[in-house]
Structure 1
């Protein structure tokens, strides 16, 4: 038991250092530079070396205890910034996926309605092209760049995930929200791991966006931090869109390939034959009349 506790403690310490402390040290360093040189001499290496040397000398003059406390304070500050980045990342995830708070309901609905109207316009172009015997691929591409299903969220990322539910229900009459916990239990281990990896990639991009927000706030002390914030946010945004698209595709693929296995596990239908009839039966069983 002692050995197990030591190993768990070691793993927790490694995770704390890699996830929270190490990324936070960079931002802590940027904030320290801002405090030392200010905005006017933000890019002055000579001023930075001079001020950092003076600060280090003052700490050393206070003795070994002061040095240890300074190092501890640095690590704690880096860890606190890491926790803050994760917290901000959760807010960013909600914003990206369109899960806006009630006080933002009005702009959320306006943006969702605007996206829906644009989607309907392009969908009408697709129908017109098909009716006239023309190639509808360009119009369909413009429509699908907005959303693969009628938009219900104010953001592309939100509709990309919400669209998976809509498309699955349209194809199989299967309520993904009600059936997903049961489907998860019948999935092979490698499929679960793929889904966890895709979800983790999305979480990682939102945490990276959280760091970008903190870098932007750090620009109040040192303006180059705001420049770094733009680069970090752009990277997080691109990664987030890619992660959402991959995650949504994997969700739909999981239903396509393993939905019938859920029906078989529930004693419904025949293995390998998922269709609207079986999907409706699975949905009714999972909803339990709700």
Structure 2
């Protein structure tokens, strides 16, 4: 038992150090640098080293008690900043995934609605243009009265369609329903499950999770954690931004962190969405077996509709007599 508690304590200390203290300590160092150097001496390394050297010669800093107090203050400050970043990350994630954007405050909701409409219009135009060109190419290929197309003509047709395919695939794999790419990428899984298997994923997923094997759960947990870390990185960029008022290098630093966070968020959302879809398709029959729903072979729309109906519950109707 003592080994269990020591191992648990060690893991908690490691996570506390990695997620809160180290990023927070780096932020405090950047803030101290901004306060010391300012705009006028933003890149004056000699000024920074001279100031640090002068402060280190303070008699209090040379005592054991002073060093302990200083270390405790740095650890506490780092943890506090780290907690602030974690709290801000939850807001960033909510904005990035935009699951509930229709319930946002009116100004934000209006902006999100306009952005969603613009993304949907661009997606529809590119998607329609691509399939119109594809249908024309297939029609020419099936026309026996015309000579077969050469390899150069086929390649030219693909090149003509490629910009439209690239546009609508870059906007989203399915018609946009949210103002962000990451939100639409996750929402696409729900759309595909409903269209392909007549399965309402928000209802089925909690039950499906309980029958998943450990490797599948581990992969999903890791992907979800990666997505959280990516949004946390974006939150750190927002914390670095105010430092630019005192030290201009904080501005490009904040921008670089924000761009990295955005790229990682999109990548993590894509990976997580792929795992969600693959897991649902592969293990739906396992859930059906556990529920006693008869089935044979691969998942079908009939099976998805049956499982959804089996798990869907709602309050009884009121007595209207």
Length-normalised TM-score, structure 1? 0.92
Cα distance, 1:59 vs. partner? Answer: 5.3
- Find out whether 1:68 has 2:68 as its counterpart: yes
Cα distance, 1:3 vs. partner? Answer: 5.1
Give the conservation status (yes or no) of the 8 Å contact 2:25–2:75: yes
Which segment drifts farther, 180-189 or 132-141? 132-141
- Find out whether 1:222 has 2:247 as its counterpart: yes
State how many pairs are aligned.
290
2:293 is paired with a residue whose SS is coil
Show the 5 A alignment for 1:119-130. Answer: 119-130=123-134
Q: Report the Cα distance in structure 1 between the residues aligned to 2:292 and 2:300, rounded to whole angstroms.
A: 15
Structure 1 residue runs of 5 or longer lacking an equivalent are none
Cα distance, 1:271 vs. partner? Answer: 4.9
Q: Cα distance 1:130–1:47, how it changes in 2: closer, same or farther (>3 A)?
A: closer
Cα distance, 1:219 vs. partner? Answer: 2.1
- Counterpart of 2:23 in structure 1 is 23
Length-normalised TM-score, structure 2? 0.84
Structure 2 residue runs of 5 or longer lacking an equivalent are 139-156, 316-321
Which segment drifts farther, 5-14 or 42-51? 5-14
Larger radius of gyration: 2
- Counterpart of 2:46 in structure 1 is 46
Q: Report the Cα distance in structure 1 between the residues aligned to 2:299 and 2:67, rounded to whole angstroms.
A: 66
Give the conservation status (yes or no) of the 8 Å contact 1:37–1:51: no
Cα distance, 1:60 vs. partner? Answer: 2.9
Show the 5 A alignment for 1:1-290. Answer: 1=1, 4-58=4-58, 60=60, 63-99=63-99, 100=101, 101-103=104-106, 104-134=108-138, 138=162, 139-289=164-314
2:98 is paired with a residue whose SS is coil
Give the conservation status (yes or no) of the 8 Å contact 1:97–1:155: yes
Give the conservation status (yes or no) of the 8 Å contact 1:263–1:270: yes
Q: Report the Cα distance in structure 1 between the residues aligned to 2:95 and 2:121, rounded to whole angstroms.
A: 21
Give the conservation status (yes or no) of the 8 Å contact 1:264–1:271: no
Question: Aligned-pair RMSD on alpha carbons?
Answer: 2.0
Cα distance, 1:98 vs. partner? Answer: 2.1
Q: Report the Cα distance in structure 2 between the residues aligned to 1:87 and 1:34, rounded to whole angstroms.
A: 24
Q: Report the Cα distance in structure 2 between the residues aligned to 1:61 and 1:197, rounded to whole angstroms.
A: 43
Q: Report the Cα distance in structure 1 between the residues aligned to 2:212 and 2:62, rounded to whole angstroms.
A: 61
